[in-house]
Amino acid sequence: MIRAASGNDGPGLFECLASEDGVLQREVRDRLKNQVAVMKKKFPDFKPGLAILQVGNRDDSNLYISMKLKAAAEIGIDANHIKLPNTATEAEVLKCITALNENPAVHGFIVQLPLDSNKPINTEKITNAVAPEKDVDGLSSINAGKLSRGDLGDCFIPCTPKGCMELIRQTGVQIAGKRAVVIGRSKIVGAPMHDLLLWNHATVTTCHSKTSALAEEVSKADILVVAAGKAEMVKGEWIKPGAVVIDCGINHIPDSTKASGKRVVGDVAYSKAKERAGYITPVPGGVGPMTVAMLMQSTVESAQRFLEKFQPGKWSIQYNQLTLKTPVPSDIEISRSCMPKPIGQLAKEIGLISEEVELYGQTKAKVLLSALRRLKDKPDGKYVVVTGITPTPLGEGKSTTTMGLVQALGAHLHQNVFACVRQPSQGPTFGIKGGAAGGGYSQVIPMEEFNLHLTGDIHAITAANNLVAAAIDARMFHEWTQTDQALYTRLVPPINGIRQFSDIQIRRLQKLGIRKTEPTTLTEEEVHKFVRLDIDPTTITWQRVLDTNDRFLRTITIGQSPTEKGFSRTAQFDITVASEIMAVLALTDGLEDMRRRLGRMVVASSRTGEPVTTDDLGVTGALTVLMKDAIKPNLMQTLEGTPVFVHAGPFANIAHGNSSVLADKIALKLVGQEGFVVTEAGFGADIGMEKFFNIKCRYSGLQPHVVVLVATVRALKMHGGGPTVTAGVPLPKEYTEENLQLLANGCSNLSKQIQNAHIFGIPVVVAVNVFKTDTEAELDLVTQMAKEAGAFDAVKCTHWADGGKGALALARAVQRASQTPNHFKLLYNVELPVMDKIRIIAQQIYGADDIELSPEAEQKIILYTKQGFGNLPICMAKTHLSLSHDPERKGVPKGFVLPIRDIRASVGAGFLYPLVGTMSTMPGLPTRPCFYDIDLDPVTEEVNGLF
């Protein structure tokens, strides 16, 4: 690439360097290839990444980019060419730059100049937007500033000056002490070239087209670098004999001998200059290929710097240090003692880019589904579900165990790990149970945000659900009070004199078998079929909802206003989390899928027995709009700074009681192949875990690796025959004093729940949640009996008092279990008859002898099978306080028949739910509800008295 002039070391000595495949280029390329190979040997899935952003379609830019892409491919660099149209605005270019800055797979990033846009774009603003650590072109002000200060080891140097320096060194001429002249002052070549020569101890003069006595200045130069952009402006006779001449110019001049009518020349009159210079670069083929080589070198250097700081696939995450206190303070005191990281920082740490995150203040954010699309080709991490034995009414600490486990895996074992949990209802928050953020030193923070409105998802569900309820009664009222033609005129009114069916009305026509699309062509019979849903009021299954425990709304009468003309009926309110829309949110895998599920929700039957859906009511689009933000998972964090998705909160009785599929899927991509996603299933393993496998995993296609089964000495003693445990009442002495026999008897429930997990082919790790009243003998007995029952491992956990450190044994056991082969399988085939599916769950999971269906339940099976819903999975709605239907029967009940009093359908969510025993979906407030103690501090505006 640099050539010795005649009369020095002999003509042609450096000619082999004067092409793109010259010796120097090959040396650089081979060295970089070796460096990339070393990286790949250490990290097999790693590749240095180069992004080239081009605006417009200039031919010269396309040529340069193709050269860069070819060089990158030869070296082993993963190069990506991003091309924006010449209509791109400055904002669009900046948005693209932000995404590339945040992409961990991109280590080098250049903006191809000039920008070819017909919109005004500030080039300096664009180049300065490139992250300095990825600015392998060295054009940002930060890198330029470091170069001007002489911080050569802490910046990227523009590629052309860097290549020029490499060429000068190849001559063997010592730079130190030499007089150097640089012609040109651009930030791309001239200015950085001056700084490089200066910091290599040359005496440097910068000249330009306005410099007087330019020839005189050039004649003094031992080293001459020309980057003026003017054809052959430096004459050969100006050159000092023996000087090193680097010509960076690329100019076109007319030449009738060339087919194109022009040829390329440099800024130096080459034919004359080579007779005086000691060394000179030709044009073309001199500096250009070396510039490309230096770009590759800087990209490899950037990748090496990345590997010095980060391990591929491992998050660079800042964990919070806990200051543990004894005795353990209240949950709210602990929550407030820890300053959460800004949620935007956490999002960046776990690999989300800014355009995928919507901040809701400093402590919570929504994550857009575009993150899942971006990460779709990444392998999933390990999938862990936390469940429990049959609990006492006090709960056994599944949420606390979930948080303790993820803190142990993340903050202590430095694994990528995500917790995925449900959003709590306002019902228990202001009722008696309290929040669901975990507890002690293993909880989600800030707990006030977690347990109250969060980002408004439950409110959105309330609004959407009640819109459907209003639409049902309004439609019945209008059908009762209007003729077919009046209804048709109102449903398809003329707009600007034109009548037109909406998309949702076209779908209804198609469902009715009517293929017409012109409103005026329908016959009277077709109009009748179209406008009459003919809902049978006795079949309405859709209820209004409210996120408050209001027992007096369990049965109400609606339509008593005189304006409703006597059309009243009995109805009810459920709690919002019992809405089918909540179940839809939890099971959907995307916006379009949610739209379809919302549209096929069945709200009633017609008088002829046909299912009436929300799509028939015409509200599908409106529901989707109301739910467009709720579909995005909510990002929060644990006390120790590990990420948590809080999303969806389906009732664990009449729905499947698990957080959202979307949150799990995004988290599994973010943690990567070696990471962990820990999700919690509501209630005991006979309910939440069974539904997790048979409903959630069936629809998501995700396969779990480990079941964590939470047990407590307290609950096992209850199952062994201990007295009743009641919330708000002190525990009897059987629970506070050692009683090994009572405990051993109760371990039958633990054994049965381990067996239930094994039915699905998944290894079980038992987490014994330690309470201060437990003795070592009792804890040892539980772990021993768990292992004898087939648990992969059983460990004692003190995460409530000790945070993640108290769950280290659990975390290590989960890691080991996740490496073992599992043989995941579903419990039943959905094609089986409805009764057979119910019987399989009752017998294999609960231990029932058989099932007994009420006449109403039998009729529902006939109806749903006729309507085409018989092949849906089953979501059993029964008490969580016993394996049987009777909450008083503890341990492992035997010899019982499971009564099915009714069966209902959540067709949009995608399951049938048999009702076992009695229950209400609108809880009531106790005599002393939690809200008695809750208030807002008028000075600090902190929530006081919460939990």
Q: Sign (positive/negative) of CA torsion 796, 799, 801, 803?
A: positive
**C-alpha dihedral (47, 137, 82, 347), degrees to nearest 10:** 70
Of the CA atoms within 13 Å of residue 663, those in its CB half-sphere come to 33
In the prediction, which pLDDT does 260 show? Answer: 84
Q: Read off the pLDDT of residues 267-316 as tens digits, 9 standing for 90 and up.
A: 999 999 999 999 999 988 888 888 999 999 999 999 999 998 888 889 99
Q: Amino acid identity, residue 97?
A: I
Which residues neighbour 577 within 8 Å (Cβ) at sequence distance 6 or greater? 425, 427, 458, 461, 547, 649, 650, 651, 655
Given this model, what pLDDT does residue 384 score? 98
What integer pLDDT is reported at residue 595 of this predicted model? 96
Contact call for residues 112 and 295 (beta carbons, < 8 A): no
What mean pLDDT is predicted for residues 772-783?
96
Positions marked active-site? 68
Using a pLDDT cut of 70, give the percent of the chain over it: 94
Question: Within a 10 A sphere around the Cβ of 390, how many other Cβ atoms?
Answer: 30
User: Is the pLDDT reported for residue 68 higher than 80?
Assistant: yes
Counting residues of the chain whose pLDDT is more than 90, the rounded percentage is: 79
Q: What is the mean pLDDT of residues 702-715?
A: 97
Mean of all residue pLDDT scores within the chain: 91
**Phi, psi values for residue 558, rounded to 5°:** -115, 160
Sign of CA dihedral 939, 940, 941, 947: negative
Exposed/middle/buried for 728, CB within 10 Å: 0-12, 13-18, 19+?
A: exposed
What residues contact 930, with CB distance under 8 A and at least 6 apart?
A: 429, 430, 431, 432, 433, 434, 947
Which residue type occupies 569?
A: R
Count of other CB atoms within 10 angstroms of residue 290: 29
**Residue 716 pLDDT:** 97
Q: Do residues 245 and 167 touch, judged by C-beta distance below 8 A?
A: no
Q: Where are the beta strands (DSSP E) in 732-845?
A: 764-769, 793-797
CA distance 504 to 148: 65
pLDDT score recorded for residue 1: 42
Q: What beta strand segments (E) does 798-927 contain?
A: 850-853, 897-906, 911-916
pLDDT score of 11 = 33
Biggest CA-to-CA distance, the chain: 113
Structural domains of the chain ordered from first start:
15-305 (3.40.50.720), 342-455+630-818 (3.40.50.300), 460-561+576-627 (1.10.8.770), 834-915 (3.10.410.10)
- State residue 409's pLDDT score: 98
Q: Are 681 and 657 in contact (CB under 8 A)?
A: yes
What is the per-residue DSSP string for 28-59? HHHHHHHHHHHHHHHSTT---EEEEEEES--H
pLDDT digits 0-9 by tens, 441-474: 999 999 888 888 899 999 999 999 999 999 999 9
CA–chain centroid gap for 880, Å, is 32
- Rounded distance between C-alpha atoms, residue 377 and residue 354, angstroms: 20
At 7 the pLDDT is: 43
Contact 638, 400 (CB under 8 A): no
pLDDT higher at 433 or 528: 528
Phi, psi for 432 (deg, rounded to 5): -130, -25
Which residues have CB under 8 Å from 196's CB, separation 6+?
Answer: 147, 152, 157, 161, 162, 164, 165
Task: Annotate 661-681 with b (16+ C-beta within 10 A) or e (fewer).
Answer: bbbbbbbbbbbbeebbbbbbb
Q: How far is the CA of 546 from the CAs of 130, 537, 553, 575, 909, in angstroms?
A: 49, 22, 9, 5, 20
Band the pLDDT of 14: cuts 50, 70, 90.
very low
- The helix/strand/coil state of 649 is coil
| Whole-number Å distance between alpha carbons of 197 and 215 | 20
- Single-letter code of the amino acid located at 750: L
pLDDT for the residue numbered 12: 32
pLDDT recorded at residue 181: 96
Cα–Cα distance, 486 to 505 (Å, whole number)? 17
Report the pLDDT value the prediction gives residue 60, as an integer from 0 to 100.
Answer: 84
Q: First and final CA of the chain: distance in angstroms? A: 75
> In this model, does residue 690 exceed pLDDT 60?
yes
pLDDT of 653: 78
Phi, psi of 191 (to 5 degrees): -60, -50
- The burial class, CB within 10 Å (0-12 / 13-18 / 19+), for 376 is exposed
**Reduced 3-state DSSP string for 388-439:** ECCCCCCCCCHHHHHHHHHHHHHHHCCCCEEEEECCCCHHHHHCCCCCCCEE
Number of H helices, E strands in the chain: 34, 36
Helix, strand or coil, per DSSP, at residue 301: helix
| Mean per-residue pLDDT, 537-546 | 95
Q: Which of 96, 54, 98, 71 is nearest to 299 (CA)?
A: 71
pLDDT reported for residue 576:
92
Please give the pLDDT value at position 936: 58
Which are the contacts of 58, defined by CB distance < 8 A and separation ≥ 6? 114, 116
User: How, if at all, do strands 676-680 and 417-421 pair?
Assistant: parallel
Res. 365 pLDDT band, cuts 50 70 90: very high
Cα distances from 93 to residues 46, 184, 714, in angstroms, run: 28, 28, 61
- CA dist., res. 702 & res. 70, Å (int): 40
Question: Three-state SS for 931?
Answer: helix
CA distance to 543, 678, 835, per residue, from 659 (Å) = 23, 11, 28
Q: Which two tokens stand for residue 140?
A: 């940002």
How does pLDDT run across 212-261, given as a tens digit for each residue?
999 999 999 999 999 998 999 999 999 999 999 999 988 889 988 888 88
**Segments of 266-306 assigned E as strands:** 279-280
- Asked if 293 and 1 touch (Cβ cutoff 8 Å), the reply is no
- pLDDT reading at 946 higher than 60: no
Q: Which of 712, 708, 710 is nearest to 813 (CA)?
A: 708
E-strand stretches of 848-929: 850-853, 897-906, 911-916
CA dist 125 → 90, 112, 931 (Å): 9, 14, 54
Q: CB of 704 within 8 A of CB of 382?
A: no
